[in-house]
């Protein structure tokens, strides 16, 4: 069963240790440093022991994030 929740990443309204898996794609690099830390702490609080975190952090040097007129992404 999959349930999608839209919430501030630092205050997701779920009980501690209630999730088996968390997917966080392309978010952290867009947050201020303090929010990054708070988000990771929240993820840790929400995951059950031995839970799975799927985390993607985009590389600012990636060609996909380049800001030029030829970038189609």
The pLDDT profile of the chain, 73 residues, written as one tens digit per residue, is: 787 888 999 999 999 999 999 999 988 888 888 999 999 999 999 999 999 999 998 876 766 666 665 655 4
pLDDT for 65 equals: 63
pLDDT for 34 equals: 92
Q: How many residues does the chain have?
A: 73
* Neighbour tally for 2: CB within 10 Å: 5
User: Among residues 7, 18, 9, which one has the least CA distance to residue 45?
Assistant: 18
b/e per residue 37-65 (b: at least 16 CB within 10 A): ebbbebbeebbeeeeeeeeeeeeeeeeee
pLDDT for 8 equals: 92
């Amino acid at each position: 069963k999959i349930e999608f929740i839209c919430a501030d990443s630092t205050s997701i309204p779920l009980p501690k240790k209630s999730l088996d898996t968390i997917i966080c794609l392309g978010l952290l690099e867009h947050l201020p440093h303090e929010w990054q830390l708070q988000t990771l702490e929240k993820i840790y609080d929400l995951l059950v022991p031995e839970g799975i975190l799927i985390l993607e952090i985009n590389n600012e040097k990636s060609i996909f994030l380049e800001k030029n007129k030829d970038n189609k992404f």
